Every structure is written in C-alpha cells, then in structure tokens.
Amino acid sequence: MITRPLGGVLTKEEIQQFREEGFYVAKGLFKEEVEQLRNHFMQMHAAGPIKGYFHPLTAEEANGDILKQYPRIMHPHRFDDLSMQYMIDPRVMNILADLYGEEPLAAQSMFYFKPPGAKGQALHQDNFYLKVEPGTCIAAWTAVDGADEENGGLFVVPKSNMLDIQCPHRADPAVSFTREEVDVPEGLQAVPVIMEAGDVLFFNGSAIHGSYPNTSADRFRRAFICHYANASATKISGHYKPMYHADGAVVQGMEDNHDGGPCGTEYAVGIH
C-alpha cells in the first residue's frame, strides 16, 4: 500500500471538464519518453511471438490482414518491466488520483500498432469489459505516434460518460477488428481527438469511444493503453487481476466480477 498522498496536479477546471465531458488530454505528458516506447515495442514485434500475450503472423499467414501481422500486445506489464514502469508512472497515477478523487489501481496494459491499412475498433465502452463495481474504470491512452482522422486516431462521444453501459450489437467486420459496437445516443456526437506523440488521453469507463481504419499511406498509429480502477471498488473482471498500487504492490482482496470479459472480442481466433 502506498504511504504518500497522490494527486494534486490538475486544476479544479480540468477535473470538472473530465467529469462533465468524460475525457481529458494531458498534453506532452510522455513527450520525452515516447521514442523509447515506440522503439521498445517495435523491437518486441521484431522478436516474434510471446506465448499467451502476442501472436503475430507472417505476411503469408495473414492473407492480406495487416492487423494479423501487427496484433495488439495484451498485458505487457505481466512480462515486461518497462511496460510496468509506464503503467504505474507517478505522472499518470497522480492525474488518475485527481480524476477519481481517491487512489487509482492499475489493472491492464496493451500496445496497439495499427499500421497503414489496419481496421479500426468499433465504438464501445470500456467498463462493459472491465466490470469495475462500484465506480468505473478509467483509461490512459498514450499516443506513441501523432493520431488524427487519417491514420485512425481515437473518436470520443462527449458527455456519454453520464450514461449507462449499453448492450452492444455486432460491429461491421470490414472496418472493426472487434465484434461489439454501441450506438451514439441521440443528441450526442462522436468527435476526433487529435493528439501529438506523447499526449495522454484519459477517459471514463462509460465514455463511448472507438476508431476507424488507418487510411494513411505510410503512418502507423501506435498507442500504449492502460486501464485503472478506483480503490473503493470491490469487484473487477478476473481477466484484469492481479492489480497494482502506485508503488507496484499487488492489490489484495478484490473480488472477481464473473460477468466481465476480455477487452474486445476479436472476429478471428489467434490474434489476441
């Protein structure tokens, strides 16, 4: 358990904006470190499969699906020290403490490569998968490359954080690599979040978000993404345990929420 207080880095206005809109961008939070992240995960890709976490296929095996050559890496913090270091980085944990109003607990890490031609991820809500109760998850989405509409940057639906978790319908497999999709509620609109490399987007677990295909000719849209829960939560899907305090200590006593699932269920087996 941590012994020093967390938080105290955001203004009241920034916290209020997050509570009202459902997201907040910390500009340049990892500006100095983003090249290290990019090179680290490209080297990991070049080294090949990691059993249980990363299963890239050859171009021949992928049969034209570039995401099968560059699938996301799931839970790299479980085997990679640098990923753990970034997941519980004090700059991230202090912002999360301000957004939650209490201690954050680290639950998950992922790395998305999203090369040119890759599909997007249909609009969804993260707490549909994490099942944090009571409370919700918050994501910290680090842009490892500049992200915009052309290369498949993230879209969010402001104020959708105020809504309940939707029951998703089936997404279009031509444009999304995950199966679930939710609708944009009447009166709301999905807007692009334009980010520079090193920016970190924080968003609420009920906030509707997703992305569209990378239509650029030669630009990756790599991202390092972590999910967190509030310390007052008592349940989370078992897929996200063990969880960690800001000092790296394992969280004790969190119950499994058996209604949860993996973070996006893919159409094809073998590209988790």
- Distance, in Å, from the CA atom of 192 to the CA atom of 198, rounded to the nearest integer, reads 17
111 is in which domain, residue-wise? 14-256
- Domain assignment of residue 247, yes or no: yes
Percent of the chain at pLDDT > 70 equals: 93
How does pLDDT run across 166-201, given as a tens digit for each residue? 999 999 999 999 999 999 999 999 999 999 999 999
- pTM exceeds 0.85 for this model: yes
Which residues pair with residue 104 across a beta bridge? 230
Tokens of 182: 């939710």
**pLDDT the model gives residue 98:** 98
Has residue 268 been placed in a domain? no
Q: Give the Å distances, CA to CA, from 50 to 40, 57, 261.
A: 14, 12, 21
Mean pLDDT of 192-218: 98
Question: Is the predicted pLDDT of residue 263 greater than 60, yes or no?
Answer: no
243 residue type, one letter: M
Within a domain: 106: yes
73 part of a folded domain: yes
Cis peptide before 76 (omega within 30 of 0): no
In a domain, 269, yes or no: no
Average pLDDT over residues 202-214: 98
Cβ atoms of 152 and 215 within 8 Å: the answer is yes
Rounded to 5°, angle at Cα 78 from 107 and 126: 30
Pairwise CA distance, residues 25 & 142, whole Å: 10
Radius of gyration of the chain (CA): 17
Beta-strand relationship, 235-236 and 255-256: parallel
Q: What's the pLDDT tens digit per position in 223-252?
A: 999 999 999 999 999 999 999 999 999 999
Contact present, 180 and 224 (Cβ < 8 Å): no
Whether omega for the bond prior to residue 242 falls within 30 degrees of 0, making it cis, is yes
pLDDT score, position 5: 74
pLDDT in tens, 30-69: 999 999 999 999 999 999 999 999 999 999 999 999 999 9
Given this model, what pLDDT does residue 259 score?
A: 58
**Quick check: 148 pLDDT over 70?**
yes
Query: Does some domain include residue 135?
Result: yes
Measured CA distances, 254 to 140, 149, 230, 246, 264 (Å): 21, 38, 11, 16, 22
Q: Quick one: average pLDDT of 143-147?
A: 98
Tell me, yes or no, whether 61 lies in a domain: yes
Output the six-digit token pair for 271.
């590209």
Give the pLDDT of residue 193: 98
Q: Residue 269: is its pLDDT beyond 70? A: no
For 212, counting Cβ atoms within 10 Å of its Cβ (0-12 exposed, 13-18 middle, 19+ buried), the class is buried
Q: Do the beta carbons of residue 99 and residue 8 sit within 8 Å?
A: no
State yes or no: pLDDT of 262 exceeds 50. no
pLDDT score, position 26: 98
Q: Is residue 4 part of a domain?
A: no
| Domains contained in the chain, number | 1
The CATH number linked to 108 is 2.60.120.620
